[in-house]
Amino acid sequence: MTCDVIIPAFNCSATIDYTLASIAMQQLPPEDTYRVTIVNDASTDGEDYAALAEYWSLMMPVDVINKTINQGCGQARQTGMDETCGDFIMFVDADDCLVSPYAIRNLMYSMEGYDLVMGQFVEETTGGVAKHELNYTWCHGKMYRRSFIQEHNLRFNMTRGNEDVGFNSLLSKLTDKILYIPQIVYSWNNNTESTVRKDSTGYRCGYGWRDFIENISWSAEEQMRRGVKGDVTKEFVCDLMGRFFFQYAESYVRLPEEREANEAKLKEFYRRVVRPFVVMGQLTYADAQRSYYKSAPMDSGLAIPQFTYKEFLTKIGFIRDVKKYGNNGN
């Protein structure tokens, strides 16, 4: 069995050796192998990736792909997938690390019969360490079966933020062959100097959140286009309305200058993803209420909403349409 470890890299000269060291220590039986592919996403920090690969190739196979245009992490991962051919795929960011010499082995030897295996990963911050278990948000701590990805033509889209949630949420609706293992396999360095963390409020409540909505909308559209079981996609779409209400309520308080752009993105999400179900009579007001109650406990720590859920549904166009198409079911 072979595993491709793909590292999207942009201006990471201060941390990538730390990442590569954790991969070089991986222990596999002689019949199994892994290969590292660094995708240099048009870095400008002067790092000599050829020399870096030559040094680390003394310990493990390392290839470098140099991109001439910076397109973001998702497209760097996609380039890595397109240019490799191993049985399995892992993604490791250039400021993170694998936490055990058996991280790849634990995931690889759990892949039999599964399309995705995910382990625990820890998030290291200045405030301590947090554990992340079963999740479809990040690519961290996961191993993917290449033949499944190729069979379904799964690709990262062109957004520059939260592209992994679009990829993973779509994948999770295309297979039930997913396994979670309790071993901690990955450490996420929540770097305060990263693109995301330098402007954490703007990312969480502004441009990053809009990318999140775009990716989730793309995932839902792909589910419909690919003929995923209708009630699965309907439930997915309905749950999003409740979730987005609480997230929008937080952004409304914390980042008022982004209200107009956020509201426009929510209305676009409604038109693209929710409205088709309403028009077909498959989403009612009662469904929307259930999504509210389902989402509320998850986001109870967010800012107190300045408006009601019904006002939110009115704002995005849902209330008007359920009345127009007679879907007021309660």
d(CA 160, CA 168): 15
Domain assignment of residue 329, yes or no: no
Q: Do 233 and 171 belong to one domain?
A: no
Domain hosting 290: range is 199-324
Is residue 330 situated within a structural domain? Answer: no
> Is 251 in the same domain as 319?
yes
Name the percent of the chain lying above pLDDT 90: 74
Q: How far apart are CA 84 and CA 5, in angstroms?
A: 10
pLDDT at position 125 is 72
Indicate if 60 and 20 belong to the same structural domain.
yes
Question: Tokens for 242?
Answer: 């409740």
Domain limit, last residue, from 195, 219, 238: 195
Axis-axis angle for helices 230-254, 309-316 (nearest 10): 110
Q: Give me the count of residues in the chain.
A: 330
In the structure, what pLDDT confidence band is assigned to residue 197 with cuts at 50, 70 and 90? low
Q: How many domains does the chain have?
A: 2
pTM exceeds cut of 0.75: yes
- Report how far residue 190's alpha carbon sits from residue 211's, in angstroms, rounded to the nearest whole number: 19
Query: Per-residue pLDDT for 66 more than 60?
Result: yes
Q: What is the CATH number of the domain that holds 75?
A: 3.90.550.10
Average per-residue pLDDT for the chain? 90
Residues 205 and 299 both lie in one domain: yes
